Structure 1
Amino acid sequence: MSEALLRIRNLRKQYGGKTVLESIDLDVAEHQVVCLIGGSGSGKSTLLRCVDLLDTVDDGTIHLGETELTDPRLNADAARRRIGVVFQSYNLFPHMSVLENVTLAPRKAHGIPRREAEQHALELLERLGLAEKARDYPDRLSGGQQQRVAIARALATKPELLLFDEITAALDPELVGEVLDVVTDLKQRGLTILMATHEMGFARHAADQVCFLEGGVIRERGTAEQVLSEPRHPSTQRFLARVLEHK
């Protein structure tokens, strides 16, 4: 296994006195896909927000490579430039074209010249099947296309780590597959991904490791085959039984 790119140790997070993450230990090796599964309120999104420094932690440490993200002296903006994030909602700027959305961060946050940023963005859009949409505005795109643009935007800064937070949750069922195909392609290209998902079929197919969260605690972790086919913890068994009921 590759050396861990992301290392989380004894992470704890509270909101208003309520503990939402407790004693989280997690390693994500380079070139791995790690899927977080669990019900609503289990702590998946909060964990991703802590890694991206959108939420401050109350205890524990997070390292990205040799950098401690939880160090209060850290330049948070510089650290975030090493991480790409895609959320449920696409968060595209409606007054900007697809190309402008994808090139904004490389130009403004990374100081990349416009021509270079646009060339890389067009290559990404081509890879994601969106080359012909580069000059369109977001309201001309389907939900699946908008989410693929959001992924292209996250990739445009050439991040070391990608965080995906339920990126298919807002999509119509027929559009889910096209977005998950993109993630599968990213895995094959060797990117490092930590993602919260409710798509168990995708997790089974793509994840190197699956972690089941409940009540802010990782109850079970292991390979996708082990956790999804032969779960050991009663909470994991109950959760997966409920998921299968609603299929």
Structure 2
Amino acid sequence: MSEPLLRIRGLRKQYGERLVLRSIDLDVAEHQVVCLIGGSGSGKSTLLRCVDLLDTVDDGTIHLGGTELTDPRLDDHAARRRIGIVFQAYNLFPHLSVVDNITLAPRKVHKVPRKQAEEYAKELLARLGLSDKAKDYPDRLSGGQQQRAAIARALATEPEVLLFDEITSALDPELVGEVLDVVADLKQRGLTILMATHEMGFARHAADRVCFLEDGVIREQGTAEQVLTDPQHESTRRFLARVLDR
């Protein structure tokens, strides 16, 4: 077996007296889509923020390829360049056009020449169905378009792994499908994705593996079909019965 692209061992995170993550072990292989499911407060978002080094890890290790991201000697900014993250809120800069939002990190952080960065941004926008929105400002876009622009921004630095944190939760129901279609296309293109989602239908069809989190612990993980149609843990069964309204 080859080493997973992303390997998490014994991950622990605490905020004050509240223990949010308790000894998380998780592997994500290259080109794999892994979906994190679980109720509010289960630790999904915190796990993603720890992987992206936005939150300090209290204990445990995170490896990306051959690099330990949790090594205190590591330059956080250099490590973060290898990871793309998209949040529930689009977090686009309102004073910048779509193309300028997308090219900001490549130009300022990666020192990519403006022309080269803009050419790649336009390729991404074409791929995501936003060719005609390059010069628009975020407030001229629908929620689904803004989220697709945020995904393009995450892709612009050509990350090794993409993190998606409930990226459809702030969207109107009719816009959810267009964003999930983008994620399904990224899977077909072979990107490595770790995503928190409450869209069980999408997880069933697109995820290679599903992890159910509860109280900061991965209670159950396995193939999408196994976890979502034949869960072995009582907590998983209760959660799915609630969200699927069985």
- TM-score bracket for this pair, using the shorter chain length: over 0.9
Q: Secondary structure in 1 aligned to 2:13?
A: strand
> Structure 1-normalised TM-score?
0.98
Shift of 1:230: 0.3
Aligned to 2:100: 100
> Structure 2-normalised TM-score?
0.99
Matches of 1:23 and 1:107 in 2, distance apart? Answer: 38
Aligned to 2:3: 3
1:172–1:190: structure 2 CA closer, same or farther, 3 Å change rule? same
Aligned to 1:88: 88
CA RMSD, 1 decimal: 0.9
Q: Secondary structure in 1 aligned to 2:5?
A: strand
Aligned to 1:150: 150
Aligned to 2:186: 186
Q: Secondary structure in 2 aligned to 1:84?
A: strand
**Counterpart residue identity of residue 131, structure 1:** S
Residue 66 (str. 1) matches residue 60 (str. 2):
no
Matches of 1:211 and 1:52 in 2, distance apart? Answer: 18
**Counterpart residue identity of residue 159, structure 1:** P
**Counterpart residue identity of residue 126, structure 1:** A
Q: 4+ residue stretches of structure 1 with deviation over 3 A?
A: none
Matches of 1:2 and 1:66 in 2, distance apart? Answer: 12
Shift of 1:2: 5.6
Quick check: 1-10 or 142-151, which moved more? 1-10
**Counterpart residue identity of residue 143, structure 2:** G
Aligned to 1:79: 79
How many residues are paired up? 246
1:78-134 CA distances to partner (integer Å, 9 max, x unpaired)?
000000000000000111110000000000000000000000000000000000000
8 Å Cα contact 1:88-1:166 kept in structure 2: yes
1:172-211 CA distances to partner (integer Å, 9 max, x unpaired)?
0000000000000000000000000000000001000000
Matches of 1:126 and 1:34 in 2, distance apart? Answer: 26
User: Identity over aligned residues, as a percent?
Assistant: 83
**Counterpart residue identity of residue 201, structure 2:** G
Structure 2, unmatched stretches of 5+, are none
Matches of 1:205 and 1:245 in 2, distance apart? Answer: 19
Matches of 1:172 and 1:83 in 2, distance apart? Answer: 27
Structure 1, unmatched stretches of 5+, are none
Q: Secondary structure in 1 aligned to 2:147?
A: helix
**Counterpart residue identity of residue 155, structure 1:** L
1:35-73 CA distances to partner (integer Å, 9 max, x unpaired)?
000000000000000000011111110000111011111
Matches of 1:11 and 1:184 in 2, distance apart? Answer: 28
Aligned to 2:116: 116
Matches of 1:100 and 1:8 in 2, distance apart? Answer: 34
Aligned to 1:32: 32
Shift of 1:3: 3.5
1:112-162 CA distances to partner (integer Å, 9 max, x unpaired)?
000000000000000000000001010000000000000000000000000
Aligned to 1:240: 240
Residue 195 (str. 1) matches residue 195 (str. 2):
yes
1:200-234 CA distances to partner (integer Å, 9 max, x unpaired)?
00000100000000000000000000000000100
Matches of 1:3 and 1:151 in 2, distance apart? Answer: 27
Matches of 2:98 and 2:58 in 1, distance apart? Answer: 38
Aligned to 1:127: 127
Matches of 1:191 and 1:220 in 2, distance apart? Answer: 24
**Counterpart residue identity of residue 88, structure 2:** Q
Matches of 1:137 and 1:216 in 2, distance apart? Answer: 38
Q: Secondary structure in 2 aligned to 1:4?
A: coil
